[in-house]
Structure 1
Amino acid sequence: MNFLQLITVAAGLSGVLLLLWAAFSGPSPDKESTRRLKSVRLRHSADGKDRLEAQMRRAVAARKPKGHHIAGSGSRTEALALRLDRSGKKWTIKQYLYGSVGLGGAIALLLFLKTGALFLALAFGAFVGAGLPHMVLNFFVKKRTNAFTIKFADAIDLLVRGLRSGLPVSETLTIVSQEVPGPVGEEFKLVTDRMKVGKTMEDALQETADRLGISEFNFFCITLAIQRETGGNLAETLANLSDVLRKRAQMKLKIRAMSSESKASAYIVGSLPFIVTIMIYWVNPKYIGEFMVDERLMVAGMGGAIWMGIGAFIMAKMVSFEI
Structure 2
Amino acid sequence: MDGNFILITVLIATLLGLGVVAFAGPSPDKARKRRVAMIRGRHSESAEALLEARMRKVISNRATGVEAKMLVSLIPNPENLTKRLKMTGKKWTLSQYMTASAGIFLLLSALLMIRGFPFLFAVMFGLAAGLGLPHWWVGRLINKRVQKFNAKFPDALELLTRGLRSGLPIAETLGIVSSEIPGPVGEEFKLITERIKIGRTMEQALQETADRLGTPEFQFFVITLAIQRETGGNLAETLSNLATVLRQRAQMKLKIRAMSSESKASAYIIGVLPFLVFGMICYINFNYMSPFFTPDPAGIFGLGTMQVIGIGGMCWMGIGAFIMAQMVNFEI
- Distance (whole Å) between structure 2 residues aligned to residue 220 and residue 169 of structure 1: 13
* Counterpart secondary structure, 2:167: coil
Identity %: 61
Q: Could you say if the C-alpha distance between residues 274 and 127 of structure 1 is closer, same or farther in structure 2, counting changes exceeding 3 Å?
A: farther
TM-score by length of 1: 0.73
CA distance, structure 2, for counterparts of residue 317 and residue 146 of structure 1: 20
* Unmatched runs of 5 consecutive residues or more in structure 1: 1-74
Equivalence map 1:1-323=2 (5 Å): 76-292=77-293, 293-294=295-296, 295-297=303-305, 298-323=307-332
Quote the offset at 1:141 in angstroms. Answer: 0.9
1:286, distance to aligned residue in structure 2 (A): 3.4
**Alpha-carbon deviation of 1:296?**
4.4
**Contact preservation (8 Å) 2:175, 2:190:** yes
Find the aligned partners of 2:127 and 2:291 in 1 and give their Cα distance. 21
TM-score by length of 2: 0.71
Classify the secondary structure of the residue corresponding to 1:248.
helix
CA contact (8 A) 2:291 2:304 kept: no
Cα separation, 1, equivalents of 2:273 and 2:183: 38
Secondary structure of residue in 1 paired with 2:140 = helix
Residue 279 of structure 2 aligns to a residue in which SS?
A: helix
Q: 1:216 to 1:260 in 2, by over 3 A?
A: same
User: How far apart are residue 309 of structure 1 and its match?
Assistant: 1.5
**1:276-317 per-position Cα deviation (integer Å, ceiling 9, x unaligned):** 222332333334322331324233332332222222111111
Deviation at 1:116, TM superposition (A): 4.2
- Please say if residues 164 and 173 of structure 2, whose CA atoms lie closer than 8 Å, have aligned partners that are also in contact: yes
CA displacement, residues 26-66 of structure 1 (integer Å, 9 cap, x when unaligned) = xxxxxxxxxxxxxxxxxxxxxxxxxxxxxxxxxxxxxxxxx
Could you list the runs of 5+ residues in structure 2 that have no partner in the other structure?
1-75, 297-302
- Write the distance in 1 (CA, Å) between the matches of 2:125 and 2:321: 19
Give the deviation of 1:219 after TM superposition. Answer: 0.7
Alignment deviations for residues 233-268 of structure 1 (CA, whole Å, 9 cap, x no partner): 000000000011111111111111111100001111
Residues 321 and 269 of structure 1: CA distance in aligned 2, closer, same or farther (over 3 Å) = same
Report if the CA contact (8 A) 2:206-2:222 is conserved.
yes
- CA separation in 1, counterparts of 2:129 and 2:280? 22
Aligned residue for 1:65?
none
Q: CA deviation at 1:150?
A: 1.0
Residue identity opposite 2:135 in structure 1: H
Equivalents in 1 of 2:100, 2:188: separation in Å? 28
Query: Contact conserved, 2:148 with 2:184, CA < 8 A, in 1?
Result: yes
RMSD (Å), alpha carbons: 1.8
Measured against aligned partners, the alpha-carbon deviations of 1:142-170 in whole angstroms (never above 9, x if no partner) come to: 11111111111111011001100111111
Deviation per residue, 1:164-223 (Å, 9 max, x gap):
011111111111112111111111111111111222111111111011101110010111
